[in-house]
Chains A and B, each alone.
Chain A
Amino acid sequence: MDFALSEEQELLQQTLRGFIENECPPSVVRESFDAEAGPDPGLWKGLVELGIAGLLVPEERGGAGLGLLEAALAAEELGHGAVPAPFLGHALACVALVAGGSDAQKRRWLPALASGEAVASVALAEPSPEGSDAWDPAHWRCRIEDGRLRGRKAWVPQAAGADLLVVALAGGRLALAETGAGGVGIAPLDGVDRTRRLDAVDLDAAPAEPLEGDALPRVRDAGLVLLAADAFGAAYRLVRMSAEYAQSRQQFGQPIAQFQGLKHQLADMALDVDPTRSLWWYAAHAFDHLPAEAERAAALAKAHITDRAVQVARGAVRAHGGLGFTWECDVQIWFKRTLFDRAWLGTPEVHRERAAALGGW
């Protein structure tokens, strides 16, 4: 048994971390966070050169042919750096094509997605006025008639800037729509996490073709794991930011880290985060190699880790005192990153109930 990363996997992660430290320090994140427009395409270009766009694309289609574990390791680093990049939607679109695309669809799109020549995203949720789960396929209404797609999608990550959308249809099948082919209206939403902008997508007779296979379960499970890994990276960073601040801030003539009230709070935050690394590692490994366990492992990992990450983020604000509540303090950027990870694809409550049902409870 070897529940550890290989040298190649460690190298992938170190390379990404080094790149992000150099090219995307907090000052760059903040600039993008405060900017009117979306993220700087130059940063994504740099990440593409490291191979991040094609991690999940098979080698014969021009990608790296790696698994979800490698993609999740990348997600951890992007969360750790709060990197403004369209990775989530792009990676899930790759999963959709690999799992459900026809040979022609794969040939048409996968090499372009792997090389970064095209950027993709996924349009899954629909506005749910009844207060139901926006990610529950039972409530989706998008339809294809005569090769034309009609409906409305919400909470689409970085649709602006995407060339290709994987759109979920009523009943849970997926379809491909090009944003440049007409009939696709994209309007920015005022999303909480400005490192991953969200858009509403209006599909009004957009030319589209359904994916051949039923890929939604794979897209959902991969998304749950990537969100868990992103939240882990963000929360890990928040704990360390808080510990550092507690050592630099002086009150009553000593660093506030000396006070047990704060020290124990920071220890509890670390305890909520650090051991969960193994939980999303396992969920990613199950996605790649243990199909019978993958669905439930992904649900539990997403529910547990994103829930803990949001709690830890609240703790990080408290640990920074008044400063932590300001726009100026970097904590708010990572705090909002965890809120995205928690809500997107459904709340912990939704996935705990799924885990309960899948466990035969």
Chain B
Amino acid sequence: MDLRYGEAYDRLREEVRDFARRSWPPRGDEARLDEREQQIRFRRRAIEAGYLSRSVPAECGGGGRAVDVLAETVIRQELIAADVPWRSPSPQGTDMLVPTLLEEGTPEQCRRYIPPTLVGEMIWCQGYSEPGSGSDLGSLQSRAELDGDHWVLNGQKIWTSSAREADMMFGLFRTEAEPRSRGLSYLLIDMRTPGIEVRPLTMMTGGIDFCEVWFDDVRIPAESMVGRRGEGWKVSKATLKHERMLIGDASYLERAFEDLLRLARETRRDGRPAIEHADVRQRLAEIEGFVATQTWASHRMLSAIAADRDMTVINEMMMAKLSLTNTMERIAELSLDLLAEGGLTAPTTDEGGMRQGWRTPGKWVSNYMMSLGLSIAGGTSNIQRNLIGERILGLPRDLRP
């Protein structure tokens, strides 16, 4: 057991730190660009320098290096610490679509879609859920029918995050007569195609992130399919796997807990900082137990994956999403108690959601609500419990039609 990264990684850490310092903050005209444009500028430089998209093949616009999860972790830590705009403006694109295309896409699809997605010029949305199909994706109804060299799409998707900004959608559509998941195919859809209508849904926070997307005789080229006809389920599984990894990262929880500590220090109760009260200290330390558990479980997962021993940490990997969202909910609950009458404040409705710093009461109230959204998105907590029960404890599967 050794928690040191070692000399090569320590050197990499220095290089990334130096790179971040040299290439940011922007000067002149660049400094006036909006957030997404800044992300694109920074990401392009970081990809060229070999710090982002490292393991994506060079012909697809990546670094063409072998997968090295330790290097990726060191780089991410330094970019977070340097507060540079390294994040992808389209996490669905970089973290879900790109790995799927690399596994299942044609060389042409990879060359065409991956490079602009990596830098952030092409934004993606995910077209899975429908009004009648949430956790039960096998029951999807939206159809695609082949008409000459085009697929013709009809139906409705819902809970589609980023649909308003998206250039493209990856989604599941019923193309075959086969029942349930065997009738689905995975399609890439240009969101500017005539016949697509996007209707934003207002969240309980008052903000807008997810949308309804309607398809009315939408014609897309026949080569828009990833994988073969009727294999959409298999193709999408790769994507879902990556989504679960995406939200199982401990650094996110650690930052949320630091913000909670700051709130407890800055809030006063009975004339002194709330953090000096015994009950608050108890609850903070109890929550830290969950946060630290996730921190060290993620170190263990990282070590195992780096050593090609993924199977030894399969339990922790399957539990990561529910661990994270349960702990986020605990943080949210204590924050509301600390806010006291501040909890009467309406949520602040900016779309940054959970990603920006937590400062005002309105922001905390918004995050209190968003912690619930997190427990629903990407496989609800009850679906996670089914998975843990079935795959880890070997309990019988739910009754399936």
Which residues of A are in contact with B by a Cβ distance under 8 Å? 1-6, 69, 239-240, 243, 246-247, 255, 257-258, 260, 263-264, 266-268, 270-271, 274-279, 281-282, 285, 290, 300, 303-305, 307-308, 348-349, 352-353, 355-356, 359, 361
Q: Are B303 and A260 in contact (CB under 8 A)?
A: no
B307 within 8 A of A: yes
User: Given A356-B284, A356-B285, are A275 and B319 neighbors across the interface (CB < 8 Å)?
Assistant: yes
Shortest distance in angstroms between A274's beta carbon and chain B's nearest beta carbon? 5
Distance of A300 Cα from B278 Cα, bound (Å): 16
In order of increasing CB-CB distance, the 8 nearest A-B pairs are A304-B289, A352-B285, A278-B296, A267-B388, A267-B385, A356-B281, A243-B393, A3-B299
**Interface pair B300/A3, CB less than 8 Å apart:** yes
A303 lies within 8 A of B395 (CB) = no
Chain B binding surface SS class: helix
B385 A278 Cβ-Cβ under 8 A: no
Min CB–CB distance B212 → chain A (angstroms) = 30
In the complex, what distance in Å separates the CA atom of A279 from the CA atom of B302? 15
Evaluate contact between B319 and A3: CB separation under 8 angstroms. Answer: no
User: Considering only CB atoms, which chain B residue lies closest to A255 in the complex?
Assistant: B396
Main secondary structure of the interface of A (DSSP, over half): helix
B304 on the A face (CB < 8 A): yes
- Our pick among A239, A240, A305, A352 for the contact of B286 (Cβ within 8 Å) is A352
Q: How would residues 382 to 401 of chain B score, 1 for a CB under 8 Å from any chain A CB and 0 otherwise?
A: 10111011001111101100
Alpha-carbon separation in the docked complex, A74 to B399 (Å): 41
A267 and B389 contacting across the interface, CB-CB below 8 Å: yes
Which of B3-11, B97-105, B225-233, B237-245 faces chain A?
A: B3-11
Q: Is B2 an interface residue (CB 8 A)?
A: yes
Complex CA–CA separation, A359 to B293 (angstroms): 17
- Pairwise interchain contact B293-A278, C-beta atoms closer than 8 A: yes
CB < 8 Å: which of B265, B276, B285, B289 contacts A279? B289
Chain B hits for A268, CB < 8 A: 385
Residue of A nearest to B398 (CB): A260
B346 at the interface (CB under 8 A from A): no
Does B316 lie at the interface of the complex (its beta carbon under 8 Å from any beta carbon of A)?
A: yes
Partner of B382, one of A5, A264, A290, A352: A264
Q: What residues of chain A lie closer than 8 Å to B319, measured between beta carbons?
A: 270-271, 274-275
* CB-CB nearest in chain A for B299: A3
Smallest CB–CB gap between B286 and chain A, Å? 6
B300 CB contacts on chain A under 8 angstroms: 3-4, 277-278, 281
CA distance A4 to B304 in the complex (A): 7
Task: Report the separation of the CA atoms of residues A282 and B158 in the bound assembly, to the nearest whole angstrom.
Answer: 43
Contact B322 A271 (CB under 8 A): yes
Q: Residue on A with the closest CB to B392?
A: A270
Q: Which residues of A sit under 8 angstroms from B5, Cβ to Cβ?
A: 1
Residue B290 lies at the interface, judged by CB distance under 8 Å to chain A: yes
Residue pair A257, B286 in contact (C-beta under 8 Å): no
Asked if residues B1 and A285 are in contact (CB atoms below 8 Å), the reply is yes
Are A304 and B293 CB-contacts (below 8 A) given A274-B316, A356-B281?
yes
Is residue B12 contacting chain A, with contact meaning CB distance below 8 A? no
0/1 string, B294-316, CB within 8 A of A gives 1: 10110110111011010010011
Q: Report B13 CB to chain A, min CB distance, Å.
A: 12
Given contacts A69-B1, A303-B289, contact A1 B6 (CB under 8 A): yes
B326 in contact (CB, < 8 A): yes
- Is there an interface contact between B1 and A243, defined as CB atoms closer than 8 Å? no
Residues of B within 8 A of A308 (CB): 289
* Given the contacts A4-B304, A246-B395, A263-B389, A304 and B286 also touching, CB distance less than 8 Å: yes
Partner of A353, one of B264, B285, B312: B285
In the complex, the answer to whether B289 meets A281 with C-beta atoms within 8 Å is no
- B residues 349-401 near A (Cβ < 8 Å) are 382, 384-386, 388-389, 392-396, 398-399
- B292 interface hit (Cβ, 8 Å): yes
